[in-house]
Amino acid sequence: MHHKPILIVPGQINSIFFEIFFKSLKKKKFRSPLVLICSIEIFKASAKKYKFKGNYRIVTSKINTVKLHNKAINIIDVDFKENKNNKYYNKFNSDYLFRCFSIAFEIIENKFTHKFLNGPINKKNFLNKRYLGITEFISSRFKKKNTGMLIYNKNLSVCPLTTHLPVKLISKNISKKLIHNKLKMINDFYLKIFKFKPKIAVVGLNPHCESILKYNEDEKIVAPAIRFSKKNNILASGPYSADTIFLKQNRKKFNVILGMYHDQVLTPLKTLFEYDAINITMGLSFLRVSPDHGPNEKMINKKISNPISLIKSLEFLDKNWLKRRKV
């Protein structure tokens, strides 16, 4: 059975990626060929540092001309040079990371594979205020306005309605249309990938979902959006209070919890599962995942970083999705 390759952009240089990558390869075998898009010099230095003895080989970026296999790590060498004229240059990451992404995106556009993973990235340094996050950066690159962030765990997943918005802007960006579109996106993604309709809980914006003074978003926006989605055959219910929905007797009733903002749902999920979750971007024409944690610069060289989120990310992409599909 043929398995499409997994394209991997390791992320920023000063991160824990290679530590958790080499740990992942020691713990698991993957059927899909792994294609790293990075500097060969950085790879070799990292392999020496973490005492990785596995096989690797350099391949051309025109990987449709190469017979890939999973017996060695396939590496597309990206020259690590500073180009201060590039708009993505900054003193932290230069344009190197942007060039790695560009090569991966070109391969995806040529329809050679539909599996993409990026390692941890300091969004502030790399994006330099041009985008709110990596999800938005990739969505913009592929001209997709309607995408969503799914933090996936097989027992319970969460999706923030608004992603990397400042808290003071959240209420202004909540609408019935956005809520319905996100519910439909979750429903469609689960049907296409996991082959079942998910039960989705929707969390209200305000404490106890109560109208406070003139602020009644839950009554005027959230509840009507849920009713409309239910009429359109989506298994959504709510709004539920954020302070009780994650209790065991409540969360076990659902596959996904849709929250109004990032920390409302990511904080409890990470408290429950720690590193056992992955970040999936819904709404793209390919599968994009990343470990559900940052570069963790403070852990570099300590060799104690947990690889479970990267392992789960690779396992998800290692599934044999034979057909490219809009996900």
Question: Which tops the pLDDT comparison, 61 or 90?
Answer: 61
Q: Beta partners for 291?
A: 278
Q: What is the CATH number of the domain that holds 61?
A: 3.40.718.10
95 & 209 share domain? no
203 & 64 share domain? no
Total of domains in the chain: 2
24 & 69 share domain? yes
In the predicted structure, residue 121 carries a pLDDT above the cut 90: no
240 & 136 share domain? no
In the predicted structure, residue 122 carries a pLDDT above the cut 90: no
Domain extent, residue 165, equals 154-275
Over residues 167-177, mean pLDDT: 95
130 & 13 share domain? yes
268 & 294 share domain? no
Query: pLDDT category, 124, cuts 50, 70, 90?
Result: confident
232 & 307 share domain? no
254 & 106 share domain? no
**pTM, to two decimals:** 0.91
Each residue of 12-69: pLDDT tens digit?
A: 888 899 999 999 999 999 999 999 999 999 999 999 999 999 999 999 988 876 788 8
Q: How far is CA 242 from the centre of its chain?
A: 23
63 & 88 share domain? yes
Each residue of 213-246: pLDDT tens digit?
A: 777 899 999 999 999 999 999 999 999 999 999 9
Reduced to 3 states, what is the DSSP secondary structure of residue 260?
A: coil
141 & 36 share domain? yes
In the predicted structure, residue 4 carries a pLDDT above the cut 60: yes
Q: Are the C-beta atoms of 174 and 180 separated by less than 8 Å?
A: no
202 & 314 share domain? no
> Rg for the chain (alpha carbons), in Å?
20
Which are the contacts of 253, defined by CB distance < 8 A and separation ≥ 6? 199, 201
92 & 180 share domain? no
How many Å apart are CA 228 and CA 183, to the nearest integer?
11
